[in-house]
Amino acid sequence: MAEVRNPMTNPFTILNVSGPYREPRELALSYDYSVQRPTWPTPNGVRIKVSIPDELDYLKRKVLGISGGSPGQQLRVNQLLSRRIADRKLQIANDERMFMERFDVMIGPFTGPLSHLFALLESWMNESKDSLRLEIRENIGL
């Protein structure tokens, strides 16, 4: 169990994460989180969608400058980065009070109606770029 706490928002615990899943008819990957708050009697689901061109490729190419590698290495890079993006989007959604009530929630890509949140994600991408590069170098060899 991963305890996630932020003094400004309500705490929650991630009980389980599954994914990535390829979204049908969308250029997106999704992760399903089972989330528990101390005041909820049972956990609820939060699906986080990561846009491949607008979020994953943006981080991979523009922020990190990653290119090349074998198909297997590229798959592993995509899995690692999309999971990090989804984790951060879950925290941003919590900070924005998007899943405070007890019902299953879907958080879409930070484009269109949620584009105002992309700046928060982009800020995290730039702050985390050195640690992400190190993680990719150590775990994947790129």
Please report, for residues 12, 87, 112, 129, 139, the alpha-carbon distance to residue 30 in angstroms, rounded to integers and kept in the order given: 20, 11, 17, 22, 22
In the chain, where the domains are located: 2-139
* Percent residues over pLDDT 70 in the chain: 94
What would the mean pLDDT of 25-50 be, rounded to a whole number? 95
Q: Provide the whole-model pTM.
A: 0.91
The β-bridge partners of 34 are 16, 45
Q: Does pLDDT of 7 surpass 50? A: no
- What pLDDT was estimated at residue 141? 86
pLDDT tens digits for range 11-20? 999 999 999 9
Mean pLDDT of the chain: 91
What would the mean pLDDT of 60-88 be, rounded to a whole number? 94
Q: Does pLDDT of 100 surpass 90? A: no
